[in-house]
Structures are given as structure tokens and as C-alpha cells.
Structure 1
Amino acid sequence: MNINRIIAGALIGGAAVLGISVGAGSAEAKIDPGQYKMQSRVYGFIPYPDTNVKVVGNRMYQDFYGVGPSNSSTFEIDQTRRGGITSTLTTHPLMQWYARTEWSKTKSGYRGTNYVLGGIPVADYTLKKTR
């Protein structure tokens, strides 16, 4: 057996076990460009103030607490069949393993769950389109 195939199989298998999205599929349900309001709930029940979010192409810009500059936090979007996966500054699988938010399209916008360290859920988000 070829050693490269063994290594590739081990990496893909490890990524699947850890919940990392590898080849997530077509971008038909991508996160649409525009302005959004985001509500955060840490651990599913601790509410944080609304923040402003702007999506341009494959980047998401967040204004924490709605009072700072419009790009105080930048995320890269890895488009998926259900919506997208955002992670800080890159869509590299290692960064997605460390911290990612998985978004799915809903009737009123998007719903997301934030995961850290391979799959520990720490927050829920809702994105609602404005303007």
C-alpha cells in the first residue's frame, strides 16, 4: 500500500471524527451579502447585546456591541450547502478545528452554533437581515 494514501486516509478520518468540514459541498445556500443584526447566547442562554454584521463576498465583518468600527472582528466564510462555516482570518481546517461557527439558513436569516477545540459548543447565534 502507498504511504501517501495511508496518510491521506488518516487525515481525512481524523477530520471526520473531530467534526471538521472537509469538502462541505456546493455553495448554493451561501451566506448572502448584506447587513445583519446578530444576537449571541453563550452556552445557549446568556444573552449578549446585538452586534452589527456585514457580509461582503466570503468575509464577515462584526462590530462588537454595535458601537465600534464596522470591522472590529473579521471572519472568513467557507460556503456550504446549508449556509457556511466562519472562522477567524482563514478557512484552514486547523483554524476551523480550534474555533468555528456553523451557519444554516432559516426563514428569517441564519442560525449558527460556535464550536471550539474540535466540537465543544459554546454559543448560539442568530443573524437577521437589515435594510
Structure 2
Amino acid sequence: MNIKRIIAGALIGGAAVMGISFGAGHAEAKIEPGQYKYQAFTWGLIPTPVSNVRIVGDQFYSDISGVGPSDINRATIVPTKNGGILTLSKDPVAMWFGRIEFTKTAYGYHGTTFNYGGIPTGDVVLKKVR
């Protein structure tokens, strides 16, 4: 058997186990553009300060803990069928190291933070500001 096929199969299998899809295609259900309030809960319990968020297209701009310019932190949103994945880059390796998977709710979006291939490390609330 060809060693390249074995390596490719191992990488694809490992990615599937870790929850990362390569080229599977995403539906175009985007996180709606606009202003949001963002709050993370580390391990589902420890709240972080509320931050201001602005979403423009597939870009996520946020301030630091509700103070400062609104574009200090920037991330990319990859659309999914239920919301989107927030990550530093669309690169699968970056998504493996850290991502937030958002799903649409009545108040905005609820997200789960994953690190190092799929270890859930907290929850995120993204509330739409009207």
C-alpha cells in the first residue's frame, strides 16, 4: 500500500474524529451582521466581562472587556448550517487549536468553545443589540 495514502487516510480520519471537516462545504446560513454583546463563561461557570462586538460580512470585531476601540480583536466566521464557527483563520489547523461553534437562538447565538481538537472549555453568549 502507498505510504502517502496511509498518511492521508490517517489525517482525514483524525480530523473526522476531532470534528473538523475538510472541504465538506457549509451551507450559507451566516451569523447576521450587526452589533452584539459577547460574554464567555469559562468551563461553563466563570463569566468574563461583557464585550462589544460588530459583525461585518465574515469578520468578527470586538473590544477588550467592553472598553477601548471596537476593532481591537478580529476573527473570521465560517458559515455552518446552524450559525457559524468563529476562529482566527479559516485554516483547519487554526480551527483545531481553537474555535467557537455558534448556533442561532431566540436572543442571538449560543456558542461552545473548543480547544485542542475538540475539548469543550466553555460557553459563549452573543446577544443582538437592537
Give the alignment's TM-score, normalised by structure 1.
Answer: 0.89
Deviations 1:14-34 (A, max 9, x none): 101112233454434311111
1:76 and 1:18 mapped to 2: Cα distance?
A: 20
Change (3 A) 1:34 1:27: farther
- Aligned-partner SS, 1:15: helix
Change (3 A) 1:66 1:28: same
Q: By percentage of residues, which structure has more strand?
A: 1
Runs of at least 5 residues in structure 1 that lack an aligned partner in the other structure? none
> Which residue of structure 2 aligns with residue 73 of structure 1?
73
Matches within 5 A, 1:111-122: 111-122=110-121
On the 8 A contact 1:39/1:125 being kept in 2, the answer is yes
> Which residue of structure 2 aligns with residue 59 of structure 1?
59
Following superposition, the deviation at residue 39 of structure 1 comes to: 1.7
Following superposition, the deviation at residue 12 of structure 1 comes to: 1.7
Deviations 1:4-51 (A, max 9, x none): 554443322110111223345443431111100012111101111111
Give the alignment's TM-score, normalised by structure 2.
Answer: 0.89
Following superposition, the deviation at residue 122 of structure 1 comes to: 1.5
- Aligned-partner SS, 1:69: coil
Change (3 A) 1:24 1:127: farther
Aligned length: 130
Change (3 A) 1:40 1:24: farther
- Aligned-partner SS, 1:91: coil
Deviations 1:83-124 (A, max 9, x none): 111111x11100000011111111111000111111111121
Q: Percent identity?
A: 55
1:108 and 1:33 mapped to 2: Cα distance?
A: 14
